[in-house]
Amino acid sequence: MVLATGLAAGCGVPADGGPQAIARRDLPPDLLDPNPGSSTTLPESAGTTTVPVYLLEETAEGIRLVAVDREVTQATIPNERLAALFGGATSAEAERGISSAIPADTVLLDVTTDEETREVMVDLSEDIGLVQGEALAQAFAQIVYTATEPAAGGYRQVRFSVDGEPTAVLDGDLVEQDRPVTRADYRDTLAPLG
């Protein structure tokens, strides 16, 4: 029994009284950079591509769409781009005044595409209805611009449904549209500057 107790005690991890300093020579080189960049651009990982998704920024001209970088593994289809969009703004972006009109509880239920009509079909949870009016139009604009980014497969229009049921959407002029919407529906009021 004494032997078993001694062996068990020898296998334990000693408890430290507090945090321990790591020697400078043991730190990764990128942590030692004396001039770290201030960019919020995400570094590309193996097998991923940096793509733009569209959030919102308040400008002198009002709320406008702004492209921010995200990492995806499949850059030529809108699915992952839209999933990344639904993640919202990073804390660094939020500090710069960048936000999203898409309610945080909204779930991207499904994304399908039609090659013949160059259309993206986006199915959302009913939580998209937590915003109304201008904010709802801004949320739809974010989704439309992200889904129809030219390098995302060349899709030109987006049709929406909520919990599997087709739904009308607000365009940039706050007019309800029962048809698929395009970037042109948001160009006058929300299009990115530049």
The CA distance from 189 to 99, in Å, is: 17
The CA distance from 50 to 56, in Å, is: 19
Answer yes or no: is 88 within a domain. yes
DSSP 8-class letter at 103: -
How high is the pLDDT of residue 121? 98
Does residue 41 register a pLDDT over 50?
no
Q: How many domains does the chain have?
A: 1
Answer yes or no: is 95 within a domain. yes
Does residue 7 register a pLDDT over 70?
no
Nearest in space to 145 (alpha carbons), one of 130, 136, 135, 155:
155
pLDDT digits (tens, 9 = 90+) for 124-171: 999 999 999 999 999 999 999 999 999 999 999 999 999 999 999 999
Answer yes or no: is 155 within a domain. yes
Q: Can you say whether residue 93 is alpha, beta or left, with left for phi > 0 and alpha for psi between -120 and 50 degrees?
A: alpha
Alpha-carbon Rg for the chain, nearest whole angstrom, is 23
Question: Mean pLDDT, to the nearest integer, of 37-59?
Answer: 73
How high is the pLDDT of residue 65? 95
Query: How many other C-beta atoms are found inside a 10 Å radius of the C-beta of residue 4?
Result: 8
Answer yes or no: is 27 within a domain. no
Domain that holds residue 156: 48-189
Answer yes or no: is 100 within a domain. yes
pTM score of the predicted model: 0.75
Question: Mean pLDDT, to the nearest integer, of 179-183?
Answer: 97
Answer yes or no: is 9 within a domain. no
Answer yes or no: is 14 within a domain. no
DSSP 8-class letter at 135: H
Does residue 94 register a pLDDT over 50?
yes
Answer yes or no: is 16 within a domain. no
